[in-house]
Homo-oligomer: A and B are copies of this chain.
Amino acid sequence: MQTVMNLVGGGGASTPQYLSGDKPSIDAFIDKFDVFLFDCDGVLWSGDHLLPQIPETIQMLRDKNKRLVFVTNNSTKSRADYQKKFTSMGIPGISEEEVFGSSYSAAIYISRILKLPEPKNKVFVLGESGVEMELQSENVRFCGGTDPSLRREMQPSDFQNVANGSLLDADVGIVLTGLDYHPSYLKYALAQAYLRQGARFLATNIDSSLPSAGTLFPGAGAISAPLIQASGQEPLALGKPSQAMMDAIEGKFQFDRKRACMVGDRLNTDIEFGIRGGLGGTLCVLSGVSQKEEFLEKGAKVVPSAYVDGLGDLLG
């Protein structure tokens, strides 16, 4: 369990610096970092709407030779899917290698850190193709996921066959949940049975809600909740603000955390992720979920080192 404490800034700042319209401070802030980790939704775009001057800001940072990593908790898309999304949103030139999603984070954790011995190292997936594609990219075996046969109605015989194990894959040693747009009773029953047999319980992320069309829909944490409730177990989450994701990002990109800055719109995921990771700085953008009142008020729990109204303000 995490200690109850206030999380301040990164880089030791106790009052966040407001950068919008202050060119000298912007330049000084940017100069402090070699690496920028970006949340996407609420920072680069809002739903299907590109925010102002985003391509230009990204290009400015590239011109200054900054390394850019786009960090997303959306598990339904693979890095390849995400790269296409950047292009379709009007942000050209982002490579698949610059994207780091929670599905990829989970795949890396399973293949490079957990490393369960053969043969009981197969993953039962509650999630969409983004999870499957990233597991494939790390040569991790899996079942469940988008398998259409698991979307069927639960039959009376299924109760027997889950209970006697004949519907279970004996190689499953891990249950990985993410956002699944096709939940079914059968999938939950199978996942619960695997957990009861001792499978490890992982989640791509546990965001309870998914912002879309200007409102909130059930997120990965909501869709995983039946399994948490039925099993009485909590999964290890591999998306923001889990430090397992930060470790995976650092393991892949090899950078000095003190020269890295996390940019995001949510205090309790993005900014907390950067602060707990010991990054040199955190930048909150006010174009998404969190409001400045939340970190400016006395006793605020999570305080970024700086903030701007929108990411485009970094152009000065």
Contacts and interface: CB of A to CB of B under 8 A. Distances in A.
A189 interface: yes
Give 3 nearest A-B pairs by CB, closest first. Answer: A225-B225, A163-B213, A222-B230
Interface in A233-282: none
Interface of A: 153-154, 159-160, 162-164, 180-185, 188-189, 192-193, 196, 208-209, 212-219, 221-223, 225-230, 232
Contacts of A196: 215-216
A202 to B, nearest CB: 18
12 contacts: A159-B212, A159-B213, A163-B215, A182-B185, A188-B222, A192-B217, A193-B215, A196-B215, A209-B230, A218-B226, A219-B230, A225-B225
Contacts of A193: 215
B215 A185 contact: no
A39 B157 CA distance: 25
Contacts of A164: 213
Given A185-B182, A185-B218, A218-B185, A162 B226 contact: no
A183 B225 CA distance: 13
A208 B222 contact: no
A180 B186 CA distance: 12
Nearest to A160: B213
Contacts of A229: 208, 218, 221-222, 225
A196 B216 CA distance: 9
B230 A208 contact: yes
Nearest to A221: B229
A178 B217 CA distance: 20
Nearest to A193: B215
A214 B164 CA distance: 9
Contacts of A227: 218, 222
A189 B217 contact: yes
B217 A230 contact: yes
A213 B166 CA distance: 13
A44 to B, nearest CB: 19
Given A185-B181, A225-B226, A229-B225, A192 B213 contact: no
Given A154-B181, A185-B223, A230 B213 contact: no
A306 B188 CA distance: 37
A62 B35 CA distance: 79
Given A192-B217, A192-B218, A230-B219, A185 B183 contact: yes
A215 B194 CA distance: 12
B218 A189 contact: yes
Task: Give the residue among A192, A196, A219 with the most B Cβ atoms within 10 A.
Answer: A192
A159 B218 CA distance: 11
A208 B226 CA distance: 8
B192 A216 contact: yes
